[in-house]
Amino acid sequence: MSDAKKTIDFGFTEVPIDEKVKRVKGVFDSVAGNYDIMNDVMSMGIHRVWKRQTIDLSGVRPGDKVLDLAGGTGDLSKAFAKRVGKTGQVVLADINESMVRVGRDRLINEGIAGNVNYTITNGEFLAFPDNTFDIATIAFGLRNITNKDKALAELCRVLKPGGQLLVLEFSKVTNPAFAKLYDFYSFNILPKMGKIIADDEESYQYLAESIRMHPDQETLKQMMLDAGFDKAEYLNFTQGVVALHRGWKY
């Protein structure tokens, strides 16, 4: 069967596999201008804690070269740029031009320049040589990629031997009682917040649905091993609302 006839999830909807990239692009074109404020509101600021823990656990050092895939508005790139210093380099890469533009303008306005490069790229086809980066991250972006296995294999390819991948993503809540509250919030409150704050209910409905369609913790761990990582593990944050997966290439 050709790709044109195959289907894949776009939230709870099945779409032709070659349409998902276009639809995801449409979502992030729509939310780019309000992305940061919505992150703060919908997570009550906790996303900043999750990201700070990711940075701390990366072990990034001065002089390192870091790939921030699906880097969006640049939260991780900003923090990494400060830690790698003048001798290091951060590449903020995203498939969505609107998000890259917002991230670039934000970092420049905040005085982050000189050691951050920006590129528009599809995570399934990374335009970097083998063994380029010491660290790679993808935060809240893997679930939007059409072929996650291919993207993970590409991330493994571009890491140097000894390099580490960190995948920060929504995952499966571990507490059943909390899961019910989380579901109610996700499907009844979150889209309404998107409508009020960003005038975009549909995109945040997709967000809630895409989270439920993403592989759970153990499944993603095995996907990383299958993609070529020699070791993989994960940590749950906020009872599994988010998980940080870490993979090493030796």
Each residue's pLDDT tens digit, 169-195: 999 999 999 999 999 999 999 999 888
The answer to whether residue 183 is domain-embedded is no
Asked if 188 and 205 count as a contact pair (C-beta separation under 8 A), the reply is no
**Cβ-Cβ contacts under 8 Å for 6 (sequence gap 6 or more):** 16, 17
Residues 102-152 have pLDDT tens digits of 999 999 999 998 999 999 999 999 999 999 999 999 999 999 999 999 999
Using CA atoms, how far residue 149 sits from 132, 154, 213, 221, in Å, is 20, 9, 15, 11
Number of Cβ atoms within 10 Å of the Cβ of 182:
18
The answer to whether residue 2 is domain-embedded is no
Residues 60-84 have pLDDT tens digits of 999 999 999 999 999 999 999 999 9
Domain that holds residue 99: 7-174+206-248
Please give the pLDDT value at position 5: 62
CATH number at residue 166: 3.40.50.150
Closest CA relative to residue 34, chosen from 85, 102, 119, 110: 102
Please give the pLDDT value at position 200: 86
Q: Is the pLDDT of residue 48 over 80?
A: yes
Tokens of 18: 């070659």
Strands 7-10 and 89-94: unpaired
Q: Is the pLDDT of residue 232 over 70?
A: yes
The answer to whether residue 152 is domain-embedded is yes
Closest CA relative to residue 103, chosen from 127, 135, 128, 80: 80
The whole-angstrom separation of Cα 155 and Cα 134 is 11
The answer to whether residue 185 is domain-embedded is no
The answer to whether residue 124 is domain-embedded is yes
DSSP, collapsed to helix, strand or coil, labels residue 32 as: helix
Q: Cite the DSSP H helix spans in the chain.
A: 20-31, 35-43, 46-58, 75-84, 97-109, 148-158, 176-184, 190-198, 201-213, 217-226
Asked whether the whole model's pTM tops 0.85, one would answer yes
Q: Is the pLDDT of residue 2 over 60?
A: no
The answer to whether residue 123 is domain-embedded is yes
Q: Is the pLDDT of residue 25 over 80?
A: no
The answer to whether residue 154 is domain-embedded is yes
Mean pLDDT of the chain: 93
Q: Which residue has the tokens 């917002």?
A: 102
Please give the pLDDT value at position 1: 45
Count the domains in the chain.
1
Please give the pLDDT value at position 41: 81
| DSSP state at residue 199 | S
The answer to whether residue 194 is domain-embedded is no
Closest CA relative to residue 30, chosen from 195, 141, 146, 168: 195
